[in-house]
């Protein structure tokens, strides 16, 4: 689903954010991306989301070759690409002027679904994260963990094949973090590919998933290569 082949990213100012990064994530695989801040985790996620173009190598996400992502890569195509990917952020990126349900509905509205479909899918997504009862609440009334679960509901409401998460448990206590991870694992079990950036080593090492470690823009360790058994597709 995600294939990095000697990918590098140099920003316009000259900062080399990623160098020669190669790894592959198959369908239904869950991998953690670790490293100190500034190691290139966020840049890597931005490349997958086509927020930034790569400057070297080859990157294929969901059968789309993002190496060709340039000015010619139209706005419409980028939008279609992003609809296949669900995103979860550390700061949730919820809109506080509207209800939980309306927040979750945003990707569906952007994709042009009918109001009936939107209502159905929003309720299904909220049900999955255990927040169906909060559909009409405003996000400010929810706890941090609940807000993050709303973020996850929004990420999965469009039934994406890939979920990206950038420090999804960054602001949560260990108990809530474990809860969020359980939700992610449930999506993995139904065939979704997940790439989760996190520096919470204590949390992720115990889970037994693949861990890719970044340092100064390079992969310094990949547990899949080190011999861990991983489902590949």
Partner 1 sequence: MEKKQNKTPKFANLLRSHRKEAVLSLQRMTDQPWSTLSTLFVIATALLLPACLLVLNSSLDSAVDSFRSTARVTLYLEANISDTQAQAVSDHLLARDDVVGVEYISADQALREFSAATGLRTVLAGLGENPLPASIVLQPSAADSSLVGELARYAASLSEVDSVQADESWIQRAEAIASTLGFLGQSLGLIFALGVSFIVGNAVRMTVESRRAEIKVIKLVGGSDSFIARPLLYTGLWYGLSGALLAAIVLSILVYAANAALQGQSVDLLPGLTLSGPGVNGYFSLLLAGAVLGWVAARVASWHYIRAISL
Chosen residue from 3, 54, 59, 87 binding partner 1 by CB under 8 A? 87
Q: Quick check: 220 and 213 in contact, CB under 8 A?
A: yes
| Pairing outcome for strands 64-65 and 210-215 | unpaired
User: How far apart are the C-alpha atoms of 130 and 153, rounded to whole Å?
Assistant: 9
Examine residue 93 and tell whether it contacts partner 1 (CB under 8 A). yes
Report in angstroms how near the CB of residue 53 gets to partner 1 at its nearest.
Answer: 13
Shortest distance, position 180 Cβ to partner 1, whole Å? 19
Residue 229 as a binder of partner 1 (CB under 8 A): the answer is no
Regarding 203 and contact with partner 1 (CB under 8 A), the answer is: no
Asked if residue 121 binds partner 1 (CB under 8 A), the reply is: no
- In the shown chain, the binding pattern of residues 45 to 84 toward partner 1, with x for contact by CB under 8 A and - for none, equals -x--x-x----------xxx----------xx--xxxxxx
By CB under 8 A, tell whether 13 contacts partner 1.
no
Of the candidates 20, 13, 62, 74, the residue with the CA atom closest to the CA atom of residue 44: 20
The residue among 113 and 211 lying less far from partner 1, judged by its C-beta, is 113
Contact region for partner 1 (CB under 8 A) — 111-119, 180-188, 197-205, 208-216?
A: 111-119
Kindly indicate which of the ranges 4-12, 106-114, 122-130, 139-147 contains the residues binding partner 1, using the contact rule CB under 8 A: 106-114
The yes or no reply on residue 138 touching partner 1 (CB under 8 A) is no
Interacting residues with partner 1 (CB under 8 A): 46, 49, 51, 62-64, 75-76, 79-85, 87, 93, 95, 97, 106-107, 109-115, 154, 158, 161
């Amino acid at each position: 689903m995600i294939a990095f082949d000697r990918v590098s990213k140099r920003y316009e100012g000259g900062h080399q954010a990623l160098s020669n990064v190669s790894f592959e994530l198959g369908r239904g695989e869950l991998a953690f991306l670790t490293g100190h801040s500034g190691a290139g985790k966020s840049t890597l996620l931005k490349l997958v989301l086509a927020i930034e173009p790569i400057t070297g190598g080859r990157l294929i996400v969901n059968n789309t070759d993002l190496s060709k992502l340039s000015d010619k890569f139209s706005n419409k195509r980028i939008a279609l690409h992003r609809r296949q990917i669900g995103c979860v952020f550390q700061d949730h990126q919820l809109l506080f002027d509207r209800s939980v349900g309306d927040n979750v509905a945003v990707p569906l509205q952007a994709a042009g679904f009918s109001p009936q479909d939107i209502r159905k899918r929003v309720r299904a997504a909220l049900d999955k994260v255990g927040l169906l009862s909060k559909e009409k609440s405003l996000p400010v009334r929810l706890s941090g963990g609940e807000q993050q679960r709303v973020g996850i509901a929004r990420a999965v409401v469009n039934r994406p094949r890939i979920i990206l998460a950038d420090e999804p448990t960054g602001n949560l206590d260990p108990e809530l973090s474990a809860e969020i991870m359980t939700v992610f694992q449930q999506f993995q079990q139904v065939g979704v590919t997940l790439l989760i950036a996190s520096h919470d080593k204590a949390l992720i090492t115990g889970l037994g998933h693949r861990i890719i470690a970044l340092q100064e823009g390079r992969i310094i360790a990949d547990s899949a290569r080190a011999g861990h058994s991983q489902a590949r597709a």
